[in-house]
Chains A and B, each alone.
Chain A
Amino acid sequence: MEFNWGLMFSSYAAVFTPGILFMICVGTTAGIVIGALPGLTATMGVALLVPLTFGRPPLESLSMLMGIYCGAMYGGAISAILIRTPGTPAAAATVMEGYPMAKRGEAGRAMAMALFASFFGGVVGAVIMTFASPFISSIALEFGPVEYFALAIFGLSVIISISGRSLIKGMMAGFFGLLISAIGFDPISGFPRFTFGMVEMMEGPPFIPTLIGLFAVSEVFNEVQKSGVTQQVKAKLDQYLPSWQDIKYCFRELCRSSIIGTVIGAIPGAGGDIAAFISYGEAKRASKNPERYGHGEIEGLAASECANNSCSGGAMIPLLSLGVPGDAVTAVLLGAFVIQGLQPGPMLYKEHIDIVYQIFASMMLAQFAMQFIGMAGIQLFARVIMVDRAILTPAIFVLSVVGAFAMRSNIFDVYTTLAFGILGYVMTRYDYPLSPILLALILGPMAEANLRRAMVISGGDPSILVSRPIAIGLMVLAVISLILSIRGHQKVEARMAEMEAQFEKAVAD
């Protein structure tokens, strides 16, 4: 499949018509709003709007869906930064740096960087998708159960990086997450485990309600506890774009994370949430100032936001060239393509190469639409943080409960949210990090199901785990990352202790 420049230009021309541009903008705006609302994910947004595209011309409907996809990936960051609630699972890693920044009065700076990082990642993802599809798609098929198991193990090694001050507490949170991820159907035999006979527990702890409970509801409880002494967060909201200094400071991470994001996106089944966590962990490990992570380090925010948006471009690669969706959203998109009478895969390149290029073009334009619509929205959204806490806190609570219910229209999910809210509150009070639970919930089932699948295939022979080069590579990376992160952690601890000693000395003087 060699690159056709002429066709690329004519595709851009086809997309650059008022009608299509309008559809992209509508999609992007809808996507940002859906992404920002906790409980509504990019997957749901696309799924709910697919029926609207029945009977519309392919380019029109696909460009709108591209807009939703890209917009929602950024939208999740808005609520993550402002109200500590990841709007989508992919924004879970954004909370760790974004919310502390907003609390410090830097909501504007964080929002501007999140938007720019999303844009940057999205553009890099779209460029790689345009030029390297055939090459990257060959990697995607190499991933079988063994490779997925190795990838999950590598991802779990990031727990060290997101543990906060105490490694032991981080590990405890991580193992707790792995433990509860074992609830529900056994992935191979199909019988339910640890459900106490409750139908609602059969698929394990529902992810979105757990996420909302751990982050949003726990913060609501925390605010309630402080009632009476709440101070208004003062936020400077004069920024649309990050300052040149911030961009320069984060540039290395932006480049690295957008590549990591695209590659992880291209692996079928691994989506923006995993990409964001791995990029965040890598950014922290490579950083000169790892002690600033967890306290509002803009570099970490840039890494996670950049990765989850570049992931979209990556996920489109196997969808278009192999007919294999790269993540949950593209799985829904696959359906949308089929409804349009287009079957993604090698045949699409042969029969409808024009559509393929038009999708490249609309994906790219969706990034620009996202940057401009996002800039227009920053002022509006960021004002949320200026709202009196006495009004904002109950509003977040209501939003959380509604968001938890919206996913499956099930009251059980609301109870889950409240239970995890209480758990999150207690854990935060005693300095246990919350993110390892999430990471374990995402990767635990992936590790378990694929390990067991590999065992079924090999007939119980564990040597299959070291029989494939990609898997060995990932396992080695996991070990290296583990060792380096632990050593890095010790260094951070030493530096923190030093700073605290100085501070105490200064106070004593």
Chain B
Amino acid sequence: MKRRTMLAGAVALAAGIIVTPALAAYPDKPVTVICPWTAGGGTDVLLRALAKAAEKHLGQTINVVNQTGGAGAIGHNAIRAARPDGYTLGMITFELNSLPPQGLVPFTWKDFDPLMRINSDPAALTVRQDAPYNTVRGFMDYAKAHPGEITIGNSAPGSVWHIAAGLAAEKTGVQVKHVPFDGAQPAVTALVGGHIKAVAVSVAEVKGQVQAGNLKLLGVMSADRDKIFPDVPTFKEQGVDVQFYTWRGLGLPKGVPAPIKTKLADAFKKAYDSPEFQEFAAKASLNLAYQNSADFTKFLDQNYKDVEAVMKSLGLAKK
């Protein structure tokens, strides 16, 4: 009995091996998606939700692997260096454009094949509810009148929000002190506790405290007003022309054959449009901003130039 089962197994296996090449249509094995950030973080949760929705359109299991460290450098490098067979792709994030100017990585976005942009969240300036100013202008005037008093928290040194706050201060010509924390959450907590005067992070990251009445939004650094807080004016409306976004998207290593890239793009676009992913994004307050490969490539080019220029003027870039 046992021998017969084994024999049957062996035959089946052999048959499988012989037949497979004949059916070798992509994808015939699970696809890996690299996440350069820790499991459970915003990027990871987003990627897992998208991957789950994409599985049925791709017809294969999609495994999310977290390759973290080096402020995202390790994961991005892993995506870049992956075999370009379409079985490994990854999520690329804003840091891909801020790490090179800092001299921290030897590659830029040009070493990737951008697949699609998924979301783009603007920075917002948030202060305590009891603060004596209600507008971005009022805040800046207060900062001018009280030099050395304003402290703005951000999520990490050289991070997207650090750059955003620096840009806003530079445009208005005020002196503020930037206080980097280990992530947006601790910075928001410190603001609620009154240890700093303001934070420059995304709307989603302060949403809970704003709704609870502990914090108030002074302005968002986007072209249009926020969907959740339509009463909050943009910086531009208040006479400070600053726009600054973080973004996330999918990227491939260079050299993936075009038909495979199309298949991946289709599957992930369908996943992006699926009701479950849209519902997830709404709950997580993500500002979805799809761009196809060509548009995303143009966007990355412009974004890289902008970020590099700002970082140079703020002294965050390597000379």
Contact = CB atoms under 8 A, between A and B. Distances in A.
Given A43-B40, A459-B177, A145 B190 contact: yes
A245 interface: no
Contacts of A344: 208
Contact of A325 (B74, B105, B185, B211): B185
A290 interface: no
Contacts of A176: none
Contacts of A140: 193
A408 B74 contact: yes
Contacts of B48: 51
Contact of A187 (B73, B180, B196): B180
Contacts of A345: 208-209, 211-212, 214
Given A50-B40, A191-B102, A408-B69, A341 B151 contact: no
A343 B40 contact: no
Given A54-B49, A202-B70, A409-B65, A335 B42 contact: yes
Interface in A167-226: 185-192, 199-200, 202-203, 206
Interface residues of A, number: 55
A143 interface: yes
B157 A331 contact: no
B256 interface: no
B151 A456 contact: yes
A324 B38 CA distance: 19
B316 A47 contact: no
Contacts of A325: 185
A268 B186 contact: yes
B189 A338 contact: no
Contact of B316 (A46, A51, A145, A190): A190
B148 interface: yes
A386 interface: no
A339 B279 CA distance: 10
A43 B159 CA distance: 24
B135 interface: no
Given A144-B193, A190-B157, A190-B316, A324 B185 contact: yes
Contacts of A192: 104
A81 to B, nearest CB: 27
Candidate in B40, B68, B182 with the most chain A CB atoms within 10 angstroms: B40
Sorting the interface of chain B by its residue count into under 10, 10 to 19, 20 to 34 or 35 or more gives 35 or more
B66 interface: yes
Given A190-B158, A324-B192, A453-B179, A347 B211 contact: yes
A188 B316 CA distance: 11
Nearest to A337: B208
Given A51-B45, A199-B105, A268-B186, A456 B69 contact: no
Contacts of A47: 38-40, 44
A190 B70 contact: no
A499 interface: no
A445 to B, nearest CB: 9
B186 to A, nearest CB: 6
Nearest to B284: A338
A190 B102 contact: yes
Interface in B20-50: 38-42, 44-45, 48-49
A140 B193 CA distance: 8
Contact of B151 (A188, A332, A339, A457): A457
B207 interface: yes
A457 B196 contact: yes
Contacts of B214: 345-346
Interface string B210-223: 01111000000000
Given A323-B212, A343-B211, A408 B68 contact: yes
A191 to B, nearest CB: 7
Contacts of B196: 457
B208 A343 contact: yes
Nearest to A199: B70
Given A47-B39, A50-B45, A143-B193, A188 B180 contact: yes
B83 interface: no
Contacts of A43: 39-40
A449 interface: yes
A203 B73 CA distance: 11
A198 B162 CA distance: 24
Interface in B50-69: 52, 65-69
25 contacts: A54-B49, A54-B52, A141-B189, A143-B193, A144-B193, A185-B71, A190-B158, A199-B74, A200-B74, A202-B69, A202-B70, A202-B73, A203-B69, A268-B189, A269-B186, A322-B192, A323-B209, A331-B183, A338-B285, A345-B208, A346-B214, A409-B66, A410-B69, A453-B181, A457-B177
Given A47-B38, A190-B156, A408-B66, 8 more contacts: A43-B39, A140-B193, A143-B193, A186-B157, A202-B69, A324-B185, A335-B41, A408-B68
The 8 closest A-B pairs by CB, nearest first: A190-B157, A47-B40, A144-B195, A332-B40, A47-B39, A141-B193, A190-B158, A202-B70
